[in-house]
Amino acid sequence: MTGFARATGTTGPVQWAWEVRSVNGRGLDVRVRVPNGAEAAGETARTALQKTLTRGQCQVSLALTKPETAARVRVNEALLASLAAAVARVPVPEGLAPATMDGLLGVRGVIESEEAEGAETESLARDLAEGVVRLVADLVEARRAEGRQLQEIVTAQLARMGELTRAAEECPARRPEAVRAKLAASLASLTEGSGGGLDPERLHQEAVLLAAKADVREELDRVRAHLAAAGELIANGGAIGRRLDFLAQELGRESNTLCAKANDIALSRIGLDLKAVVEQFREQVQNVE
């Protein structure tokens, strides 16, 4: 879910540049930083990313550069005409000079200054919105490129887990004769020194417990089912990160149980190897959309 994209352009005297950075995240978090006056463009970018992505932390920024321009002066002709008409109607007292044009222009509000066009002109807003479309498309492509690389890694990890599952199924410690020998040795240690007086019911209970502990078939069956589900998700594509994360948790639970129930060093080693690959798989799927 990592990626970077940049979209630039020029609208009139204004140069603009969108940038977005995406890093891993369990959910979707979009943060936007834009100059004053460009808030509408920022909301456009936020909405576009929220509609397109489902996971990741995205930082979006907009930079606007415009040349220094002198303020333009405008005469409020309506106010000036109104003042002139009013002055013309008022008799000028003796000793006072009549109003002049420069005096009228000095009245507040007659001369107005206005800055050159700001950032939120119609044409600039349209170009910024088009830039967002390109920005999001480029970010999606960058994330897809990473996704194709991750797919190879995750697929190899699933294959390795399948190999370890088959190795656990074929482990000599799981063969019936090996289980019987293990049970016989355990029962022998229980009856040793008892003179044969150990309660038969107790012997039966111990035998059942040992047999249950040695049986990991259910765990292996569930591991195979989870691996098949993960492979199907990857083949279908789409936003599968959260579902893969759930399957990774389930695989971790089964590998822990396998290690706990292993009655042989060889089977225990297979369980530990499986657990290690599951942890690697779980770390990688955090990067998946």
Interhelix angle for 122-169 vs 241-261, to 10°? Answer: 20
Q: What local confidence, expressed as pLDDT, does residue 49 receive?
A: 93
- For residue 18, list its beta bridge partners: 7, 62
Share of the chain above pLDDT 90, in %: 37
Q: Tens digits of per-residue pLDDT, 95-141? A: 777 778 888 788 877 887 555 454 447 888 999 999 999 999 999 99
The 3-class secondary structure across 139-160, one letter per residue, is HHHHHHHHHHHHHHHHHHHHHH
Mean pLDDT of 181-195: 64
Q: Please list, in sequence order, all residues whose beta carbon lies within 8 angstroms of the beta carbon of residue 135, skipping any fewer than 6 positions away.
A: 5, 6, 7, 18, 19, 20, 45, 60
Q: How far apart are CA 283 and CA 289, in angstroms?
A: 13
Phi, psi (degrees; rounded to nearest 5) at 113:
-110, 140
Instruction: Give SS3 for 43.
Output: helix
Q: What local confidence, expressed as pLDDT, does residue 131 receive?
A: 95
- Pick 104 or 150 by higher pLDDT: 150
- Pick 192 or 78 by higher pLDDT: 78
Contact 223, 251 (CB under 8 A): yes
Q: How many CB atoms lie within 10 A of CB 142?
A: 16
Q: Which two tokens stand for residue 48?
A: 């576009």
Q: Tens digits of per-residue pLDDT, 201-241? A: 665 666 566 666 667 888 899 999 999 999 999 888 877 88
Q: How far apart are CA 5 and CA 58, in angstroms?
A: 11
- Pick 288 or 8 by higher pLDDT: 8
Based on its alpha-carbon atoms, the radius of gyration of the chain, rounded to whole angstroms, reads 38
Q: What local confidence, expressed as pLDDT, does residue 173 receive?
A: 65
Q: Please report where in the chains the tokens 């460009």 appear, as a residue.
A: 38
Q: What local confidence, expressed as pLDDT, does residue 116 receive?
A: 45
- Whether the pLDDT of residue 271 is over 80: the answer is yes
- Whether the pLDDT of residue 50 is over 80: the answer is yes
Instruction: Give SS3 for 29.
Output: strand
Q: Tens digits of per-residue pLDDT, 71-93? A: 567 788 888 888 888 888 888 77
Q: What local confidence, expressed as pLDDT, does residue 118 receive?
A: 47
**Poorest-confidence range of 27-36, 141-150, 184-193?**
184-193
Q: How far apart are CA 178 and CA 269, in angstroms?
A: 17
Helices (H), the chain: 39-52, 77-89, 101-105, 122-169, 176-191, 200-214, 217-236, 241-261, 265-285
Q: How far apart are CA 101 and CA 75, in angstroms?
A: 12
Q: Give the largest Cα separation in the chain, rounded.
A: 143
Q: What local confidence, expressed as pLDDT, does residue 180 receive?
A: 62
Q: Is the dihedral of CA 64, 65, 71, 75 positive or negative?
A: negative
Residue 280 banded pLDDT, cuts 50, 70, 90:
very high
Contact 40, 86 (CB under 8 A): no
Mean pLDDT of 151-161: 93
